[in-house]
Amino acid sequence: MLVKDKYFRLFISENQIQDTIVRLGKEISEDYADKFPIFVVILNGAFMFAADLMRQIKFESQITFVKFTSYQSMESSGEVDELIGLDMDIRNRHIVILEDIVDTGLTMYEVLKEIKKYAPASIQIAALLQKPEALRHEIPVAYRGFEIENKFVIGYGLDYAGFGRNFKELFILDETQKA
């Protein structure tokens, strides 16, 4: 499939994603049912993951959104910018950060540093994807959907230069085809 000027091939199906989200929802529901957590969604990429995961959460909770960016086109810029910050009091609250992908860990490292300033009771990370080979910061992902190789992926909220977020599946860069 051609997206902008690159070819991608199917990597993880919609059914695999949804089955994984059901599993993550059960795990989080067991761990947080009596804690009234705040889910902090990292925009833009985690919006689809967050929407589907929140439908699996079977207890009272709150949700808020923050936006940090470190990507330009297909690579990490090496710098993290906060574009939208926390808009609610999280002091002494249990926090579950929802992220689409933990890649280098740079964005999550900065997000964790920022959230810790507000003295929450606890912080855990739920990520649809994690790339262990790409990590530059040790990031403890408590709820991980898929561990993947260090390849560029799009779909299900992840994008290539703003394109491809709307796909129900995940696609991996197909380096065998040229546009």
149 Cβ contact list (under 8 Å, min separation 6): 131, 133
Asked if residue 123 is part of any domain, the answer here is: yes
Asked if residue 86 is part of any domain, the answer here is: yes
Rounded CA separation 36/60 (Å)? 6
Q: Which of 52, 100, 103, 159 is catalytic?
A: 103
Q: What whole-number percentage of the chain has pLDDT above 90?
A: 75
- pTM for the full model? 0.90
Domain of 40, in residue numbers = 14-148
Asked if residue 77 is part of any domain, the answer here is: yes
Asked if residue 173 is part of any domain, the answer here is: no
Asked if residue 9 is part of any domain, the answer here is: no
Asked if residue 175 is part of any domain, the answer here is: no
Confidence of residue 78 (pLDDT cuts 50, 70, 90): low
Decide if 19 is catalytic: no
pLDDT digits (tens, 9 = 90+) for 146-161: 999 999 999 999 999 9
CATH of the domain at 23: 3.40.50.2020
Domains in the chain: how many in total?
Answer: 1
Position 179 scores a pLDDT of 65
Asked if residue 59 is part of any domain, the answer here is: yes
Is the confidence at residue 114, as pLDDT, over 90? no
